[in-house]
Structure 1
Amino acid sequence: MKGPAIFLAQFGGDTAPFDALAPIAKWAADLGYKGIQVPCDPRFIDLDRAATSQTYCDEINGVCADAGVVITELSTHIQGQLVAVHPAFAPQFDAFAPSHLRGKAQAEWAAGECIKAAKASRNLGLSVQVGFSGALAWPYLYPWPQRPAGLVEEAFAELARRWTPVLNACDENGVDYAYELHPGEDLMDGASFERFLEATEHHPRVGIAYDPSHFVLQQLDYLAFIDLYHDRIKAFHVKDAEFNPTGRQGVYSGFSPWAERAGRFRSLGDGQVNFAAIFSKLAQYGYESWAVLEWECAIKSPAQGAAEGAPFIRRHIIEPTPRAFDDFASADTSRDELRRMLGLQEEPAA
């Protein structure tokens, strides 16, 4: 596993060092990070140029190298979100796209941006892109009033139709699309991921950006999840969370603000996620990509969370053992000896 790395999305801003790639890369390196996950944000990357110019991408990689970091993945969370937006949420998401685009035109633009990111990833020497799936069925998550037969199936069929051109472009460019399974997206857990996988006919580029914090808030077994889906996990957000139900609120938290919810995100080490077990399982299954801090704490400052994140991740990364601990006691044994140990050696004839 590679790391530590940091996702820049929550740290981008309008003042130095958070307003351009070179200074924010240097800031991350100074905190001890070796990699940066870069959102497709014009402050950090010109996506049109990156999709078409190898020279420009070589320059970007040079800027990062000079700072002491590498790019781990490009993030199209915002663009992916806009590939599928239920009309109920459109007013909240319209600000993320050009103002003249709405509905189908916005979705087509967003898919095009994800395709550009796949081409840019290839030019940058990357093999994974991370993002959201968007959502058409999310308003119907709770099955009351009763959902009409076929509603969910049609939603996932449409989601697959919209994403298949992106996934095909990813395949052409040698890039996996790792969906962050997240409440608010139609891909939120293992069951919904399987629906999408089936709808895309098990497209080889459909991957998972594993983030245990979202599973804590859903009360899902995030360790068993790795056992089930480790072959599809292509990226890893190291983010903590806690779930403290009371007599007043549980998973849904009664519309409370983040700091007052039963389930809330925390900085690394301040929540309930068993990272020792997660890093062990990922090492067991041969995960070789990046461990990337995502900071979204409801209490602690981003500056403190970022500063504490690099050493936390570094402590948890496991170097897989090259040999078994009891190899010292091994010895070459012939087949005859093996059969004798099992009591299968035939007695010589009288």
Structure 2
Amino acid sequence: MKTLKGPSLFLSQFIGEAAPFNTLETLAAWAAGLGYKAVQIPTHLPHIFNLDEAAASRTYCDEVRGKLADVGLVVSELSTHLQGQLVAVHPAYEQAFAGFAPDALRHDRTGRQQWAVEQLKKAAKASQHLGLNAHATFSGALAWPYFYPWPPRNAALFDEAFATLAERWIPILNSFDEAGVDVCYELHPGEDLHDGTTFERFLTLTGNHPRCNILFDPSHMVLQQMDYLGFIDYWHARIRAFHVKDAEFNPSAQSGVYGGYQPWVDRPGRFRSLGDGQVDFKGIFSKLAQYDYAGWATLEWECCLKNGETGAREGAKFITDHIITVADHAFDDFALRSSERTAIRQMLGLEERS
């Protein structure tokens, strides 16, 4: 059995213009001071992490690792959530996602998609240079505007959407395979891969690609009213990354899963700081220990009520306290008696074979 690693901190929600949140070195020192052992690094901000340099230069990656090591940290994963989103964008979201691409490509659909694919391939190389084995990303979405369709569901539309999504991702998955790194899709409403059913459909269309895997985040499953513990039972072999994020779902007479276009604080389903929501983390950490998950437990802090720095400080201890140091032998080994075959047959009341 394996003990999972942690705590790690996803840096995206904490990057800002003021110190200590404006450089990787100062962010790392701050995170280490809170008790984190690793950081998950977004790759869309060159002043934090230069993806072009990391893909081209092992020396640059060694320098990043050295800066983190100086404060007792390592990299848990790189993240291309924003670039992954741009691998597939439905026209309804052209304006909303335009800012995720370089200015010159904001309204160039083909050029933007090609840039996103190259970003993912660079992330594969950078992950290899950093000695990582997992990568966090989004799938993008072509079918999401039709998730609750009217007029009624058109099977051919979804067939085409998922076939195209797989076609776009297979070359990326192949690049990650060459680098020896798993692609871990965060299953997230707004993405075509948002639950087990959509992931399974996509996985099949990739030919069950060995690098097609899951970033498990129970908060998104709470908001979809899914059985997130049963999900681990079903998909544990494909879970290669883990966002530790809490959530709650309190339906009212006025609103439910869809949220009524309300701000987060007023929605029935909303994200919370660790320990403030409804997620059964004891159950999750037990399941992951049972199935030998050996990756990182990474805090992704999002909360509509609590201050982020408070959430980060509390989150480090919360994850540390939930990590199960797995047993190196069975608790009842002390009572084990002879397993020699003659004794075994005697225990069963069987005669010794000649």
Structure 2 partner of 1:28: 31
- The aligned amino acid for 2:89 is V
Change (3 A) 1:347 1:171: closer
Match of 2:13, SS state, is coil
d(CA) in 2 for partners of 1:72, 1:130:
10
Q: How does 1:189-228 map to 2 (within 5 A)?
A: 189-228=195-234
- Is 2:62 aligned against 1:54? no
- The aligned amino acid for 1:19 is N
TM-score by length of 1: 0.97
Per-residue deviation, 1:342: 2.1
Change (3 A) 1:32 1:341: same
Maintained 8 Å contact 2:342/2:352: no
d(CA) in 1 for partners of 2:353, 2:87:
74
Structure 2 partner of 1:286: 292
Structure 1 partner of 2:137: 131
Q: Deviations over 1:214-253 (max 9, x none)?
A: 0000000000000000010010000000000011111012
Match of 2:70, SS state, is helix
- The aligned amino acid for 1:286 is D
Per-residue deviation, 1:104: 1.7
- The aligned amino acid for 1:15 is A
Structure 2 partner of 1:43: 47
Change (3 A) 1:58 1:258: same
Structure 2 partner of 1:178: 184
d(CA) in 2 for partners of 1:148, 1:196:
18
d(CA) in 2 for partners of 1:346, 1:69:
60
d(CA) in 1 for partners of 2:198, 2:326:
32
d(CA) in 2 for partners of 1:277, 1:333:
34
d(CA) in 2 for partners of 1:347, 1:317:
49
Per-residue deviation, 1:340: 2.7
Structure 2 partner of 1:84: 88
Structure 2 partner of 1:14: 17
d(CA) in 1 for partners of 2:18, 2:119:
26
Per-residue deviation, 1:347: 11
Match of 2:79, SS state, is strand
Give 1:70's match in structure 2, choosing from 67, 74, 88.
74
Structure 1 gap segments, 5+ residues each:
none
Match of 1:155, SS state, is helix
Report % sequence identity. Answer: 60
- Is 2:352 aligned against 1:329? no
Per-residue deviation, 1:331: 1.5
d(CA) in 1 for partners of 2:353, 2:10:
68
Which portions of structure 1, spanning 4 or more consecutive aligned residues, are displaced by more than 4 angstroms? none
Q: How does 1:134-153 map to 2 (within 5 A)?
A: 134-153=140-159
- Is 2:259 aligned against 1:250? no
Change (3 A) 1:132 1:343: same
- The aligned amino acid for 1:56 is Y
Structure 1 partner of 2:97: 93
Change (3 A) 1:340 1:183: same
Computed over aligned residues only, the root mean square deviation of the Cα atoms, in angstroms, reads: 1.3
d(CA) in 1 for partners of 2:10, 2:301:
8
Q: Deviations over 1:95-135 (max 9, x none)?
A: 11012222121111001101101100101111111010000
- Is 2:342 aligned against 1:344? no
d(CA) in 2 for partners of 1:145, 1:29:
52
Give 1:297's match in structure 2, choosing from 303, 321, 324.
303
Per-residue deviation, 1:346: 7.0
Maintained 8 Å contact 2:6/2:319: yes
Match of 1:10, SS state, is helix
Q: Deviations over 1:25-82 (max 9, x none)?
A: 0000001100000000212111111001111111111111112211100000000001
Per-residue deviation, 1:335: 2.2
- The aligned amino acid for 2:196 is G
Q: How does 1:103-114 map to 2 (within 5 A)?
A: 103-114=109-120
Structure 2 gap segments, 5+ residues each:
none
Q: Deviations over 1:146-179 (max 9, x none)?
A: 1323111110110011111110100111111000
Q: Deviations over 1:167-220 (max 9, x none)?
A: 010011111100000000000000000011011111110010000000000000
Change (3 A) 1:209 1:347: closer
Structure 1 partner of 2:5: 2
